[in-house]
Structure 1
Amino acid sequence: MLRFLLLTSLAALVLAEDAEPIYLEHQTMVERVVGGEIASANSWPWQISLQYLSGGSYYHTCGGSLIRTGWVMTAAHCVDTSRTWRVVVGDHDIYTHEGTEQYLSVSAVYVHPNWNRNNVAGGYDIALLRLSTAAVLNSKVQLATLPPSGQVLPNNNACYITGWGRTSTGGPLSAKLKQAYLPVVDHQTCSSSSWWGSTVKTTMVCAGGGSDSGCNGDSGGPLNCLVSGRYVVHGVTSFVSSLGCNTLRKPTVFTRVSAYISWLQGIMG
């Protein structure tokens, strides 16, 4: 069963697969990367916390990437419900005000038109947020680098997932941004019958498959991959297995950013 990595109480989606995908945002509490370690403060300066308003307070639900000063890229399943959103850039500990944060309201949400919340395996789990005011770039806040259109990384390419999601399946919370090393699993391997099978499409990227993984609360955040000496956001965190966030041979699945470059540019202009 598939699980999306978001933090709202959405019902699990059931697909006709042996292992269905699940949004990484189930649960109403903040969750984070399984395994890995606490990242150095602001070492992934394009990472954002997406938060929603409830009862007068804002709560973290997903991650995302600052790709222009006025635009954030996240997962469609994070924002396909109507809520009051805000984006926090320059954050590290989401429960502590450290003075480096910028709190930015969201003026418009653009979910990919082909996204279907009832068919996560169909893909298109990508969205753009237009910010009401532009982020101010500094040493703590930088823009993500996106890949060229169509680029597909080789098996075992070095990547890191980053996020504030659960530290274990159903496990405890941690306030500080985490990172975990998740090498790419190529499509031929990931789509084989003993891995994800036909659930995984060529417009997705698999990474991990061992003890480290994404988990609830990581949805929408970046898969940061080392390409030619710099980190490029090649994935948007989408789903894991309902059998557990770090199930063997069920690597974390990401929307492949390079498959959507033209759509992103078309929205942002």
Structure 2
Amino acid sequence: MKFLVVFALFLATACASPALVQRQRFMPVLADTAEGRITNGQAASVGQFPYQVGLSLKLSALSSAWCGGSLIGTNWVLTAAHCTDGVQSVTVYLGATVRTSAELQYTVSSSNIIIHSGWNSNTLKNDISLIKIPSVSYTTRVQAVKLPSISSSYSTYVGETAIASGWGKISDSATSVTNQLQYADVPIVANSVCVKTYGSSSVPSTVICISTTGGISTCNGDSGGPLVLKSTGVQIGLTSYGASAGCAKGYPAVFTRVTSYLDWISTNTGISY
């Protein structure tokens, strides 16, 4: 019910103001035959993003939703807390370019989900979670993404270019997620740019911001998906929230900053660099 209320608020405010709203785990999950992309991005080729994960989230016996994630180790998927909050189970798709045509697929119960203890669905702070899956063997289409090193914890990445990817909505008018994995190059900007749109209380140091010039942005259904430095292939963010006015309206988009959670990830998974 909480998700439905938030989604209704998103629709109600879509033409009003740029107030923040979390990137929705998208429901219903339907096929999308329209031409398009992660708003104004490009179609990914097979194996281009072997760390990309698709998540089909069972909310109840009659409802499901869709999010993204990233493979960070043989047993672990990183995603957003707002994706996994309150779900009964999740089906994890690995090695897919077409959304549900995966090389590997696992369904795990909510007991395999670790949501950050500081996650706050009202403020959207600490929007990060982990999913434990059966051990996978790496292939050309299934590979873990590299996380930042502890020594990079104070990097802002401002001025660098990153890549966002996912199966989310390809436009504000789209009625479903897309079938073909999409990606876009996006510039990282200072958090102060996001503060001008969302206010200082909504932009803590634990998030990272991108410019969406030209309407190039993440959208609903991309939630939890990776933001990776183009120069190094290191994951520095995961999709969290954007403007309620719409994904392609030019307002900055906000990601959970991975460097802020390296200790938390290491404690729960043993993964560190």
Q: Is the Cα–Cα contact under 8 Å of residues 165 and 225 in structure 2 kept in the other structure?
A: yes
64-73 or 204-213, which deviates more: 204-213
Q: Is the Cα–Cα contact under 8 Å of residues 20 and 241 in structure 2 kept in the other structure?
A: no
For residues 125-156 of structure 1, give each alpha carbon's deviation from its aligned partner in whole angstroms, at most 9, with x where no partner exists. Answer: 0000011x112201111011111231423322
How many residue pairs end up in the alignment? 249
Q: Identify the residue that residue 212 of structure 1 maps to in structure 2.
A: 216
Unaligned segments of structure 1, at least 5 residues: 1-7
Q: Identify the residue that residue 263 of structure 1 maps to in structure 2.
A: 264
Which letter does structure 2 place at the counterpart of 1:158?
T
1:72 aligns with 2:73: no
The CA deviation at 1:41 is: 1.4
Give 2:198's match in structure 1, choosing from 182, 196, 199. 196
The CA deviation at 1:89 is: 0.4
Give 1:43's match in structure 2, choosing from 22, 44, 48. 48
Distance (whole Å) between structure 2 residues aligned to residue 24 and residue 42 of structure 1: 26
Distance (whole Å) between structure 2 residues aligned to residue 222 and residue 235 of structure 1: 6
The CA deviation at 1:18 is: 6.5
The CA deviation at 1:71 is: 0.5
Give 1:155's match in structure 2, choosing from 138, 153, 158. 158
Distance (whole Å) between structure 1 residues aligned to residue 60 and residue 118 of structure 2: 32
Instruction: Summarize the Cα distance change of 1:165–1:112 in structure 2 as closer, same or farther, 3 Å threshold.
Output: same
Distance (whole Å) between structure 2 residues aligned to residue 45 and residue 160 of structure 1: 13
Distance (whole Å) between structure 1 residues aligned to residue 145 and residue 73 of structure 2: 8
Distance (whole Å) between structure 2 residues aligned to residue 152 and residue 10 of structure 1: 36
Q: Identify the residue that residue 181 of structure 1 maps to in structure 2.
A: 185
Unaligned segments of structure 2, at least 5 residues: 11-16
Distance (whole Å) between structure 2 residues aligned to residue 143 and residue 114 of structure 1: 26
Distance (whole Å) between structure 1 residues aligned to residue 183 and residue 154 of structure 2: 23
Which letter does structure 1 place at the counterpart of 2:162?
C
The CA deviation at 1:214 is: 0.5
The root-mean-square deviation of aligned C-alpha atoms, in Å, is: 2.5
Distance (whole Å) between structure 2 residues aligned to residue 104 and residue 51 of structure 1: 10
Which letter does structure 1 place at the counterpart of 2:38?
V
**Percent same amino acid at aligned positions?**
32
TM-score using structure 1 length: 0.84
Q: Is the Cα–Cα contact under 8 Å of residues 85 and 106 in structure 1 kept in the other structure?
A: yes
Which letter does structure 2 place at the counterpart of 1:21?
V
Q: Identify the residue that residue 140 of structure 1 maps to in structure 2.
A: 141
Which letter does structure 2 place at the counterpart of 1:118?
N
Which letter does structure 2 place at the counterpart of 1:155?
V
Distance (whole Å) between structure 2 residues aligned to residue 142 and residue 258 of structure 1: 20
The CA deviation at 1:54 is: 7.4
Q: Identify the residue that residue 110 of structure 1 maps to in structure 2.
A: 114
Q: Is the Cα–Cα contact under 8 Å of residues 58 and 65 in structure 2 kept in the other structure?
A: no
52-61 or 108-117, which deviates more: 52-61
Give 2:171's match in structure 1, choosing from 160, 168, 173. 168
1:23 aligns with 2:23: yes
Q: Identify the residue that residue 239 of structure 1 maps to in structure 2.
A: 241
1:223 aligns with 2:227: yes
Which letter does structure 1 place at the counterpart of 2:165?
T
Q: Is the Cα–Cα contact under 8 Å of residues 28 and 63 in structure 2 kept in the other structure?
A: no
Q: Which has the higher helix share?
A: 2
Distance (whole Å) between structure 1 residues aligned to residue 131 and residue 94 of structure 2: 13
Q: How does 1:62-101 map to 2 (within 5 A)?
A: 62-95=67-100, 97=101, 101=103
The CA deviation at 1:92 is: 0.7
Distance (whole Å) between structure 2 residues aligned to residue 41 and residue 58 of structure 1: 30
Q: Which has the higher strand share?
A: 1
For residues 35-55 of structure 1, give each alpha carbon's deviation from its aligned partner in whole angstroms, at most 9, with x where no partner exists. Answer: 111011120100000113479
